[in-house]
Structure 1
């Protein structure tokens, strides 16, 4: 697994150049999170959210009991 005649190791020998696919992995991850975001937006627009009577007000809200 030597790169050249000077005895230096090939930097890709451990993973056999698998890091070349890192760009594809990033695209897959970004696509997954894009799909999750789209489902979340569709759910929000269709009304799948916490009903107003169950929403908690923040501690700085002066209208909270």
Structure 2
């Protein structure tokens, strides 16, 4: 994956979040704030019928469901 190959400190990154999740997690001082299903579905990694991550894609990309 491009990011793993090109970001020097990729392993130090805790998670990637969209802007609204970042704002809400800081506003409510909750670092475990979860992104909405709507936002998550835009990643292409969320099965919108089951409302869970596509395990095959997550495994292929070698990322955690976090």
TM-score range, shorter chain: under 0.3
Which structure: larger Rg?
1
More contact order relative to length (CA 8 Å, sep ≥ 6)? 2
| TM-score, reference length from structure 1 | 0.22
Higher strand share: 2
